[in-house]
Amino acid sequence: MAHSNRMTFRQIVESTRMDAARAAWDRAKFASRLRHVEAVAGHRRNARRLGEWKVRAIRLAVSLAPEQIRLTIDDDYQIGLLSVRWPGHGRLHLPADVRLDSAV
């Protein structure tokens, strides 16, 4: 009787969770950089959309890696903003009124 060591769906999801969180974090960082460029250029509509994409990407990253990503109110760099920190990956800032616990 042969036994196969195929992965279950749960194991597959768990093995890809951190890769997906890193990809979402990278999208958030990219959207943040582009948002700053658009804001400086005076393109408010584009900056607002990029800000929305950044929030969605951060929500996804937090939902995938809640044990690693920390949310605090920044008190040293961007005082008063929500600081989203992922050790080893950096930090991003959002307005203090943004809620990250809503559905992705």
Residue 103 has pLDDT above 60, yes or no: no
Task: DSSP for 43-102, please give it.
Answer: -HHHHHHHHHHHHHHHHHHHHH-TTT-EEEE-SSSSTTSEEEEETTTEEEEE-TT--SSS
- Digit-coded pLDDT (tens) for 21-40: 999 999 999 999 999 999 99
- Digit-coded pLDDT (tens) for 47-97: 999 999 999 999 999 999 999 999 988 888 778 889 999 999 999 999 988
Q: What is the pTM of this model?
A: 0.83
State residue 77's pLDDT score.
75
